[in-house]
Amino acid sequence: MAGTALVLGGGGLTGIGWEVGVLAGLADAGIDLADADVVIGTSAGSIVGAHLASRRRSLEELYEHQLTAPAADGPAARMGPAALARFAAIAVRSRDAVAFGARMGKLALAARTAPEEQQREAIARTLGGLTDWPARRLMITAVDAATGQRTAFDGTSGVRLIDAVGASCAVPGIYPPVTIDGTRWIDGGVHSSANADLAAGYARVVVIAPMPVSGGPIDGPRSQAARLARRGTRVCVITPDRAARSAFGRNVLDPAKRADAARAGRRQAATHVPEIHPLWSATA
Would you please indicate which residues are annotated as catalytic (active-site) residues? 43, 187
Tally DSSP H helices, then E strands, for the chain.
10, 8
| Residues facing residue 135 across a β-bridge | none
Beta-sheet pairing, 4-8 with 204-208 = parallel
Helix (H, G, I), strand (E, B) or coil at 143: strand
Whether 10 contacts 210, CB under 8 Å: yes
Distance CA 190, CA 90 (A): 11
| Residue 191: closest CA among 160, 229, 148 | 148
Task: Give the H or E element holding residue 153.
Answer: strand 150-153
